[in-house]
Amino acid sequence: MDLNGVGQPLLSSAVGAAPRQHSVNSSTASFTADENDIKPINSPRDFFREFYVETKKLWRLAGPAIFMSLCQYSLGAVTQLFAGHVSTIALAAVAVENSIIAGFSMGAMLGMGCALETLCGQAFGAGRIDMLGVYMQRSWVILNCTAILLMFLYIFAAPFLKLIGQQAEIAEAAGTLAIYMIPQLFAYAFNFPMAKFLQAQSKMMAMAVISGIVLVIHTSLSWLLMIKLGWGLVGAAVALNSSWFLIVVSQMAYILSGTCGRAWSGFSWGAFRNLWGFVRLSLASAVMLCLEIWYYMALILFAGYLKNAEIAVDALSICMNIVGWAVMLAMGLNAAISVRVSNELGAARPRTAKFSVVVVALESTLIGLVISLALILTRNDYPSLFTESHEVQSLVDKLTPILAVCIIINNLQPILSGVAIGAGWQAFVAYVNIACYYLFGMPMGLILGYKLGFGVQGIWIGMISGTFVQTIILLLMVYKTNWNKEAATATDRIKKWGGEVADQPQPSDIES
């Protein structure tokens, strides 16, 4: 990543231009942008015209992506809802397995799959569509190997949960459920690469329709197996495993139907080439994403060691639930901006990529402000929707200003992460996350919460400070980035990592 040279004026876009191949020298000095890159914006009228054009492109991607995220997020929530009608132990077991065991694994697998966002998006933008299928198959190989390693966490879930302080009865029930849920791991291994493969081609609507249909089927299946037939936790596992594999089979059928054209040309031994280079980018993506997910999982864990821990954890869980739903909007925009940036860089349109970032950052921040304002105005009312405990309601009321700030920051931060994925900056951002989250935010939260006695508010303020610093650093990265250099780097990456698909180069030409 090159952070030198910012002086690129924003230019005016051509809509719907097909991706084409470009001969771009990796030297910025000899870089020539595509003729469809946007033209200079010389007036507010030009800006708002281009803003409108880019907004349509973004929301055409973000709308279905948000719906898909909500549907897939709801699969576990629906199962948890029915588990509450089975028994309190079943509810606790599903909640613990979903949040800790499956949450940890999903974060790792989704992170590993994010490498595909960079590579498929940039290859599609450059017109190297025939490389997408091979990239997806490489990711299948890597994620299935990852699933085999993560399987041991599921097998030994019960002792692991006891080790971190879960009650024995809940740990045993969650451990049993985790063993039943092992097939879900391998569904993740196939689903996430297919999702990124389709996402790079802007085929969001197909995934949204599939996810919506599966959610309806999953709800009916969960009721039938868990309540009507009385299968309990076994029914929960069968319903979740079946639903995730139904998503996989449906997406695979869509791909094989010929709707993706040259992007899917069949299974290829090329999937086993250059695996190490692919693993490195996958690991960087996984570390970047997991450091973010685990950071907020640690917030709940730390709250559990405070005085009146039950009240603190309940109040914080309500706040995190609200953050989770709000972040679904940001994650849809994250997917959209990742596609836009990777496609435009691959197509040698760096200024369009930069303008996309400006548009989505402004819109996401505005959404965060609206949600935060609504929460502050209803702070005396909304806590009663989640709990009847007056103590918990009172603490949620006190936490609402912090919640509002958290939502604003977390509406912008995923957008910047999406830019990082689209541009291929995962490794650098992983280091930023370690420094901001674990060397700054977490220690500050522990000092404020325990040492200075501010309790759950202190812990959360400290950890939000880490996210705030990380967001500022990412903003500076985006501002200082030489986008011409990034477009040239994208072209080099496509040549090195996938040239064998089209050009049949010698082995020495392939990055190891």
Q: How far apart are CA 350 and CA 346, in angstroms?
A: 9
Locate all alpha helices (DSSP H) within 31-101, ordered by sequence.
Answer: 44-83, 88-96
Q: How far apart are CA 147 and CA 141, in angstroms?
A: 10
Buried b (16+ CB within 10 A) or exposed e, 260-287: beebbeeeeebbebbeebbbebbbbbbb
Q: For residue 386, is pLDDT > 60?
A: yes
Q: Which pLDDT does position 498 carry in this prediction?
A: 53
Are the C-beta atoms of residues 134 and 270 closer than 8 Å to each other?
A: yes
- HEC readout, 325-354: HHHHHHHHHHHHHHHHHHHHHHCCCHHHHH
**Cβ neighbour number for residue 258 with a 10 Å cutoff:** 8
The Cα-based distances of 66 to 23, 256, 397 in angstroms read 35, 25, 28
**Cβ neighbour number for residue 57 with a 10 Å cutoff:** 20
Q: Which pLDDT does position 206 carry in this prediction?
A: 92
Angle 182-200/103-113 helices, nearest 10 degrees? 30
Q: The pTM is what?
A: 0.73
Q: For residue 195, is pLDDT > 70?
A: yes
Instruction: Record the tokens describing residue 308, joined without a space.
Output: 């009146």
**Cβ neighbour number for residue 307 with a 10 Å cutoff:** 8
Q: Which pLDDT does position 226 carry in this prediction?
A: 93
Residue 30 — pLDDT band, cuts 50, 70, 90?
Answer: low
Q: What is the largest CA-CA distance in the chain?
A: 70
Q: Which pLDDT does position 47 carry in this prediction?
A: 86
Q: How far apart are CA 114 and CA 289, in angstroms?
A: 9
Q: Does residue 146 or residue 123 have the better pLDDT?
A: 146
Q: For residue 247, is pLDDT > 70?
A: yes
The Cβ-side half-sphere exposure at 404, using a 13 Å CA radius, reads 17
Mean pLDDT calculated for residue range 26-50:
69
Q: For residue 510, is pLDDT > 50?
A: no
Mean pLDDT calculated for residue range 176-182:
95
Are the C-beta atoms of residues 98 and 180 closer than 8 Å to each other?
A: no
Mean pLDDT calculated for residue range 167-189:
91
Q: How far apart are CA 211 and CA 207, in angstroms?
A: 6
Are the C-beta atoms of residues 339 and 202 closer than 8 Å to each other?
A: yes
Residue 494 — pLDDT band, cuts 50, 70, 90?
Answer: low
Q: Which residue has the tokens 């190997």?
A: 145
Lowest mean pLDDT among 6-15, 30-39, 65-74: 6-15
Terminal alpha carbon distance of the chain: 19
Looking at every residue in the chain, the average pLDDT score rounds to 80
The Cβ-side half-sphere exposure at 402, using a 13 Å CA radius, reads 20
Q: Which pLDDT does position 185 carry in this prediction?
A: 93
Q: For residue 23, is pLDDT > 60?
A: no
Question: How buried is 4 (Cβ within 10 angstroms: 0-12 exposed, 13-18 middle, 19+ buried)?
Answer: exposed
Q: Which pLDDT does position 60 carry in this prediction?
A: 87
Residue 181 — pLDDT band, cuts 50, 70, 90?
Answer: very high
Q: Which residue has the tokens 């942008």?
A: 33
Q: Does residue 191 or residue 285 have the better pLDDT?
A: 191
Q: Which pLDDT does position 121 carry in this prediction?
A: 73
**48-63 per-position pLDDT tens digit:** 888 888 889 888 888 8
Q: Which pLDDT does position 109 carry in this prediction?
A: 85
Q: How far apart are CA 451 and CA 416, in angstroms?
A: 33
Q: Which pLDDT does position 58 carry in this prediction?
A: 86
Q: Which pLDDT does position 506 carry in this prediction?
A: 31
Residue 21 — pLDDT band, cuts 50, 70, 90?
Answer: very low
Q: Does residue 71 or residue 499 have the better pLDDT?
A: 71
**250-289 per-position pLDDT tens digit:** 999 999 998 888 888 878 777 777 777 777 777 777 777 7
Are the C-beta atoms of residues 313 and 456 closer than 8 Å to each other?
A: no
Mean pLDDT calculated for residue range 128-138:
85
Lowest mean pLDDT among 106-110, 332-336, 363-367, 502-506: 502-506
The DSSP symbol for 114 reads: T
Are the C-beta atoms of residues 4 and 482 closer than 8 Å to each other?
A: yes
Q: For residue 7, is pLDDT > 70?
A: no
Mean pLDDT calculated for residue range 305-320:
76
Q: For residue 495, is pLDDT > 80?
A: no
Q: Which pLDDT does position 190 carry in this prediction?
A: 94
Q: Which pLDDT does position 218 carry in this prediction?
A: 96
Out of 51-55, 227-231, 239-243, the most confident range is 239-243
Taking CB atoms within 8 Å and a gap of at least 24, the contacts of 298-302 are 298/442, 298/463, 299/445, 299/459, 299/460, 299/463, 301/164, 302/445, 302/446, 302/449, 302/459
Are the C-beta atoms of residues 465 and 435 closer than 8 Å to each other?
A: no
Lowest mean pLDDT among 140-149, 404-413, 415-424, 432-441: 415-424
Mean pLDDT calculated for residue range 132-152:
90
Q: Which pLDDT does position 20 carry in this prediction?
A: 43
Q: Which pLDDT does position 322 carry in this prediction?
A: 82
Helices (H) and strands (E) in the chain, counts: 18, 0
Mean pLDDT calculated for residue range 111-127:
75
Mean pLDDT calculated for residue range 360-383:
90
Q: Which pLDDT does position 112 carry in this prediction?
A: 80
Q: How far apart are CA 380 and CA 394, in angstroms?
A: 8
Q: How far apart are CA 351 and CA 40, in angstroms?
A: 10
Buried b (16+ CB within 10 A) or exposed e, 85-121: ebeebbbbbbbbbbbbbbbbbbbbbbbbbbbbbbbbb
Q: Does residue 421 or residue 284 have the better pLDDT?
A: 284
Q: Does residue 287 or residue 232 have the better pLDDT?
A: 232
Mean pLDDT calculated for residue range 363-385:
89
Mean pLDDT calculated for residue range 320-337:
79
- Give Cβ neighbours of residue 365 (< 8 Å, ≥ 6 apart): 408, 411, 412
